[in-house]
């Protein structure tokens, strides 16, 4: 996604303390813009969590929010990776209505998406699908006519792609040289 578009992907490494999610979410609300998805989970470092935000807004607003985010004591690192080469995934669970007649058709439909059937009931089926938001949206669109009973999405998780010889480490930091924020890439040679 390009940096001037509507969607921005921001990742943050935060201390795993009570209230940190409220702090971060409250900041976005105060600065008046929307989080379209948010995913939080443990990182590889003890005591630190990693958050991925997808936010809407123009470059100015996103830059402001990113810097304000960086000011929070519990936020260790933050980076807007919208202009980076990233890998991003989302997971969804879709519970869809089935009848003996539609079961086969649904199974066929799910296959090309490399989705999995994780639960089969008498009248419904739960499908797990991983991928980009577009892919999930596409599968959802196909299943909708059968009757979707529940949809649960995780929100996007994202990571900057590794390079051929070295890995972009976690040291994505904000840098204030010149006019624009840049992501400062620090390479750990040989750790790939």
Partner 1 sequence: MEYTGAEIVCESLLKEGVEVIFGLPGGAVLPFYGALSGYPQLRHILVRHEQAAAMAADGYARATGKVGVCTATSGPGATNLVTGIAGAMMDSIPMVAITGQVPRPAIGRDAFQETDITGITLPITKHNMLVMDVDDIAPAIKEAFYIAQSGRPGPVLLDIPKDVLAGDRRPFVWPESIDLQGYEPPGEADEIQLNQAVELINQAERPVIMAGHGILISHAYAELRELAEKAQIPVITTLLGISSFPTDHFLHTGMPGMHGMAYASLAIDKADLLISLGMRFDDRVTGRLSDFAPNAKVVHVDVDPSEFHKNVKATVPVLGNLKQVLKQMLPLVDRKTHVEWLQYIDTLRAEHPSLYIRQTDELLPQFVMKQLSDITEGNSIIVTGVGQHQMWAAQHYAYKEPNSLLTSGGLGAMGFEVPAALGAKVGRPDKTVWSIAGDGGFQMTLCDLATAVENNIDVKFAILNNGTLGMVHQWQEFFYDKDFFATVYSGNPDFVKLAEAYGITGIRVTDKAQVDAAIRQAMETPGPVVVDFIVKQDEQVYPMIPAGESVNEIMEEPIPERIF
Q: What distances in angstroms separate CA 97 from CA 21, 24, 33, 126, 152, one per listed residue? A: 35, 38, 36, 9, 15
Site string for partner 1, 1-20 (x = CB under 8 A): ------------x-x--xx-
Q: Does residue number 30 form part of the binding site for partner 1 (CB under 8 A)?
A: yes
Scanning 25-33, 85-93, 118-126, 153-161 for contacts with partner 1 by CB under 8 A, the matching segment is 25-33
How many angstroms separate the CA atoms of 101 and 148, rounded?
A: 16
Query: DSSP secondary-structure letter at 181?
Result: -
In angstroms, what is the minimal distance from the CB of 125 to partner 1? 40
Q: Does residue number 79 form part of the binding site for partner 1 (CB under 8 A)?
A: no
How many angstroms separate the CA atoms of 80 and 118, rounded?
A: 35
Are residues 69 and 75 in contact, defined by beta-carbon separation less than 8 angstroms? yes
Site string for partner 1, 133-172 (x = CB under 8 A): ----------------------------------------
Burial label, 120 (beta-carbon count in 10 A; 0-12, 13-18, 19+): exposed
What lies within 8 Å, CB to CB, of 122 at 6+ separation is: none
User: Which helix (DSSP H) or strand (DSSP E) does residue 70 occupy?
Assistant: helix 59-71
In angstroms, what is the minimal distance from the CB of 170 to partner 1? 12
Q: Does residue number 46 form part of the binding site for partner 1 (CB under 8 A)?
A: no
Scanning 67-75, 108-116, 125-133, 150-158 for contacts with partner 1 by CB under 8 A, the matching segment is 67-75
Residues in touch with partner 1 (CB under 8 A):
13, 15, 18-19, 22-23, 26-27, 30, 48, 60, 63-64, 67-68, 70-71, 73-77, 174, 176-177, 179
């Amino acid at each position: 996604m390009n940096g001037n578009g509507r969607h921005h992907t921001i990742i943050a490494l935060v201390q795993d303390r009570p209230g940190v999610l409220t702090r971060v979410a409250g900041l976005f609300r105060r600065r008046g813009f929307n989080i379209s998805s948010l995913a939080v989970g443990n990182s590889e470092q003890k005591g630190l969590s990693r958050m991925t935000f997808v936010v809407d807004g123009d470059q100015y607003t996103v830059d402001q929010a990113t810097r304000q985010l960086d000011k929070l004591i519990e936020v260790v690192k933050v980076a807007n990776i919208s202009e980076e080469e990233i890998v991003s995934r989302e997971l969804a669970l879709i519970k869809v209505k089935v009848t003996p007649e539609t079961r086969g058709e649904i199974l066929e439909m799910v296959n090309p998406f490399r989705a999995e059937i994780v639960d089969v009931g008498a009248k419904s089926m739960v499908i797990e699908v991983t991928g980009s938001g577009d892919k999930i949206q596409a599968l959802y669109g196909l299943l909708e006519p059968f009757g979707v009973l529940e949809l649960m999405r995780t929100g996007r998780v994202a990571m900057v792609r590794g390079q051929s010889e070295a890995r972009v480490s976690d040291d994505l930091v904000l840098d204030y040289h010149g006019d624009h924020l840049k992501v400062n890439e620090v390479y750990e040679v040989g750790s790939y």
